[in-house]
C-alpha cells in the first residue's frame, strides 16, 4: 500500500531533509508540508494523509497540542520526528507508532514507515470485520428480510484469521459444542463459531440434522452405524469414521431412527 505522508516541522531545512529521504523509499507520497500546528490541522482535514511526520517543539500549537484535535475513524498514524529525546515516553502514551531523533537515519525512517503500514493494515482489517459483522447481523435479524417463523440457514459466515469465511450447510457433517462456541466440522476443516447449540439447532433443518447429545448435532445421511458403548450408552458412527456419543435424553430418538432404518431395509 502507498503511504500518503504529511510533513510537519517549523524548520524548512528539516522538511527538505525528510522530503529528500522519502524520495528514496518506495510506495510513499508526500501530500503536503506544514510549518506549524494550525496549518497542519487544516492539511490533515483536507488531504487525509495516512501518516504524519510530526515535530514536537513548534511555535504556537506544538505537536502534542495537535493530536487531540484529530478526530474521526481515519485519523493518521503519527511518527514523531524531533531533536529532543525526553519526549519519548509521552509520545508513546499518545499512541505514536515511532519516535525518531534528528538527524534521522534512513534505516530508522524506513522501519518507522513499515510500522505505520502494519498499523494501518491492522486498522483496516478490524474495520472490515466490524462492517461484515454488522451486515451479517442485519441480514439475520431484519424482519423485513426474513420470513416469519424459523429460518433455516443455507450457509454460515464464520470469523477466521481476520476475515469472514463462508461455510455452506451442505458441507457440514456434524456440530460440536465448546463452551460458548460451536465447532462446525466440514470435511478436513473445522470452524469455531460463537453460537449456542440450541440456536444452531433452530437454524438447521431437522430433516437433515439430528441432535444426538446436548453438545452434538450430526447429519442424518452420514450416520453409518449406531454402536453400543457399554452400560446402555450409544455412539453414532459417521461415514468419515468419527464416533459421536449419544446423550441419554436423545437416545430414544436415535433408537427410533434405528428402527425406521431397519423397517426400510426389510
Q: Which three cell numbers stand for residue 135?
A: 451486515
Residues in the chain: 266
Mean pLDDT, rounded, for 213-241: 87
| pLDDT surpasses 60 at 8 | yes
Measured at the CA of 85, the angle between CA 100 and CA 76, to 5 degrees, comes to: 40
What pLDDT is stored for residue 238 in this prediction? 94
Q: Residue 229's pLDDT band (boundaries 50, 70, 90)?
A: confident
Mean pLDDT, rounded, for 201-221: 92
What pLDDT is stored for residue 264 in this prediction? 40
In our burial notation (b when 16+ CB lie closer than 10 A, e otherwise), range 92-124 reads eeeebbbbbeeebeeeebeebbeebbebbeeee
Q: Residue 145's pLDDT band (boundaries 50, 70, 90)?
A: very low
Beta pairing, strands 3-8 & 51-54: parallel
When comparing pLDDT for 75 and 14, which is higher? 14
The count of other CB atoms within 10 Å of the CB of residue 61 is 15
Mean pLDDT, rounded, for 58-69: 77
How far apart (Å, rounded) are the C-alpha atoms in residues 262 and 266?
A: 6
Mean pLDDT, rounded, for 108-134: 74
Question: Cα–chain-centroid distance for residue 196?
Answer: 21
Question: Cell numbers 449456542 correspond to what residue?
Answer: 196
Q: What is the pTM of this model?
A: 0.48
Q: Which three cell numbers stand for residue 149?
A: 417463523
97-116 pLDDT, tens per residue? Answer: 888 888 899 999 999 999 89
Domains annotated for the chain, with CATH where assigned, are 3-127 (3.40.50.2300), 155-265 (2.40.50.1020)
Question: Cell numbers 475513524 correspond to what residue?
Answer: 73
What pLDDT is stored for residue 93 in this prediction? 58
Amino acid at each position: 500500500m502507498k503511504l500518503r505522508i504529511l510533513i510537519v516541522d517549523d524548520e524548512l531545512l528539516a522538511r527538505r531533509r525528510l522530503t529528500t529521504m522519502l524520495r528514496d523509499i518506495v510506495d510513499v507520497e508526500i501530500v503536503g508540508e506544514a510549518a506549524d500546528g494550525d496549518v497542519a490541522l487544516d492539511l490533515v482535514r483536507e488531504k487525509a494523509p495516512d501518516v504524519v511526520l510530526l515535530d514536537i517543539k513548534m511555535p504556537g500549537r506544538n505537536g502534542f497540542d495537535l493530536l487531540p484535535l484529530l478526530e474521526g475513524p481515519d485519523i493518521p498514524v503519527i511518527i514523531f520526528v524531533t531533536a529532543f529525546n525526553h519526549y519519548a515516553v509521552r509520545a508513546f502514551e499518545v499512541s505514536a507508532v515511532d519516535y525518531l531523533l534528528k538527524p534521522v537515519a534512513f534505516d530508522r525512517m524506513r522501519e518507522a514507515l513499515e510500522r505505520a503500514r502494519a498499523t494501518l493494515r491492522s486498522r483496516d482489517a478490524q474495520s472490515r470485520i466490524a462492517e461484515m459483522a454488522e451486515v451479517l447481523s442485519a441480514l439475520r435479524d431484519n424482519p423485513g428480510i426474513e420470513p416469519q417463523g424459523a429460518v433455516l440457514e443455507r450457509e454460515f459466515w464464520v470469523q477466521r484469521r481476520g476475515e469472514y469465511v463462508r461455510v455452506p450447510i451442505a458441507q457440514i457433517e456434524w456440530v460440536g459444542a465448546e463452551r460458548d462456541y460451536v465447532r462446525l466440522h466440514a470435511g478436513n476443516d473445522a470452524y469455531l463459531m460463537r453460537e449456542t447449540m440450541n440456536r444452531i439447532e433452530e437454524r438447521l433443518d431437522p430433516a437433515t440434522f439430528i441432535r444426538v447429545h446436548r453438545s452434538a448435532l450430526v447429519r442424518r445421511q452420514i450416520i453409518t452405524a449406531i454402536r453400543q458403548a457399554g452400560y446402555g450408552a450409544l455412539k453414532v458412527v459417521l461415514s468419515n469414521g468419527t464416533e459421536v456419543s449419544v446423550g441419554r435424553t436423545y437416545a430414544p430418538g436415535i433408537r427410533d431412527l434405528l428402527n425406521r432404518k431397519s423397517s426400510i431395509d426389510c
